[in-house]
Amino acid sequence: MTTQHQPGTADHIADVQRADPELGGLVWRHSTFSQGSDQTCRDVAFTPGQVVVRDSKDPEGPVLRFTAREWEVFLLGVRNNEFDLPLRRTPRP
């Protein structure tokens, strides 16, 4: 059975379990907005005090590691449109 996720809701992230010996079998999550052939998805996993990001096309490749606080600050910037592409930037009301 396939679960449909409603875009823009808390359940919009899909969990992906992959074997990863170096990272101890973490549960990797990716946005359901990245489905299809565009192959733009990044996977995110949460460990105690850390957030790990990898390229979904290269699950055995390098990862980026952030503290929980670094990740929180980054997400605040995303929600505030601070990382929008320059041509798409829309001021917030």
Tens digits of residue pLDDT in 45-86: 998 889 999 988 888 889 999 999 999 999 999 999 998 888
- Asked if 54 and 43 count as a contact pair (C-beta separation under 8 A), the reply is yes
pTM, 2 dp: 0.65
**Residue 4 within any structural domain of the chain:** no
pLDDT at 34 over 80: no
Say if 1 falls within a structural domain. no
Look at residue 93 and tell me if it is in a domain.
Answer: no
Q: Does residue 5 lie in a domain region?
A: no
Residue 2 lies in a domain: no
Higher pLDDT, 11 or 42: 42
**What is the number of domains present in the chain?**
1
Residue 15 has pLDDT above 60, yes or no: no
For position 56, what pLDDT does the model report?
85
Rg of the Cα atoms in the chain: 15
- Please report whether residue 88 resides in a domain: no
**22 belongs to a structural domain:** yes
User: Bigger pLDDT: 32 or 24?
Assistant: 32
- Of 49, 52, 67, which is closest to residue 18 (Cα–Cα)? 52
- Phi first, then psi, for residue 11 (nearest 5°) are -90, 15
Q: Average pLDDT for residues 19-46, to the nearest whole number?
A: 76
Looking up tokens 């929600």 gives 79
Residue 14 lies in domain:
10-83
33 in any annotated domain: yes
* C-alpha–C-alpha distance, residues 72 and 69, integer Å: 5
